[in-house]
Structure 1
Amino acid sequence: MTPARTDPASQDTTASDFESFFHLSLDMLCITDFDGYFKQLNPIWEEILGFTQAELLNTLFIDLIHPDDRIATFEEFQKLLNHTRSIGFETRYRCSDGSYRWLRWNATPCPKKKQIYCIARDITADRQTESELHLALKSLTKLKLALDQAAIVAVTDQNGKIISVNDHFCELSQYSREELLGKTHRVINADYHDQVFFQEMWSTIRQGHVWNRVVLS
């Protein structure tokens, strides 16, 4: 049987497509050797880190890592040298202006060529958002703590059923949290206010306004 011939034109097209993919990708593509030097990088590296290709190709990648991340990065690199792929590894890379960018890596070693094929993505904005969210939650937790210490708090769903109460509410009502959850405020109603009073309350709240009255329970 005669082996099928490979069309040279098809090979040229494939090589051209790969070259276009490599150079146009918005992800940071690179090939490193087992000594820790970059062998090839796509143009987005210059845009994100600010170094020229020549500068990057003459720099050990570990020298660009944030000092606090170097031990973990070195350990991850050792796994690659032992022929284990790296998935979702995150580390900080130094930019030419001295700042750092968070990169998330996927990398596959090729022992035969003693090279590592890598894809990195800049996740600095995601990390910043996570940090801001963490600070907001921390601030909210402190605010809730202060509120719980100074006020009587109950949270209901749109149907008026209690879904959360603080300790002060339980102490004042003399009901346990288990007895209150899932109930409406009728459970502590002293029958002092008429139906119109509560209709006005719920109508105001459902419209997104603040309702401020004294309730006798």
Structure 2
Amino acid sequence: MRKQTIMSIKNSGIAVSESGRSRFTPIHLAVAIVVGLLCLTPHFTYGDGRHQFLAITFVVLLGVFCGSGGGQQRAVPVAIVAAGYALIWAATNIVAAQLRTDLVATPAIWLRTSAGALVVFPLCALFGLGLGILFRNRSAAVIGMLLYLTHLEPLFCRGLNGIGWSSAITYLPAMSAAKALDGLTAAHRVLGGFAVVQPAWLTLLVFIGWTALALLAGTAVTRSQKGDRR
């Protein structure tokens, strides 16, 4: 019992079971809910792609959080949670569009928004899960991914734009997810957003490739670690 308590303290409040695997605590759940809701607020204040990017960032980080420390078995639950968040995201899209007089949304676009989000958001969660499995330290995994999404990839985008390769930015992980979400959901017609250059099916395939790569890498590392223990 004492050893378990010490491990909990060292993991900054993350409860550790007897098997040594970290799990969610009420504090984690409360933080996730608050941050998730905050990522929905730009729907009502901005008419550009920030509402998409923030939601994607949240779902990816949620996957990283669940995957770090070895969480392959959490793939299905994480995808289900992301699908639920997708429906909430789509609902706020629709509500925000109705509150803003400068935007028009038809029932067909509402359906498309919901269906597209149900495709992209679970993929974002699985992408984050695969990357999270690669890291044993949960804090390092989450912070590292946050820095990549908010700073490194935008820098790559600026660099590609600077050398005239602007169309190549849609092949980066976060941008391919954002472009796929924008194209599949017609979000730019509801709340404004990124200008989609490549077709939605292409950017979706690109992000599926990134997700598969992350999951395969995570699986390979997990098997390697199990082999070393034997």
Length-normalised TM-score, structure 1: 0.24
More strand by share: 1
More helix by percentage:
2
Report the structure number with the largest CA radius of gyration. 1
TM superposition score normalised by structure 2: 0.23
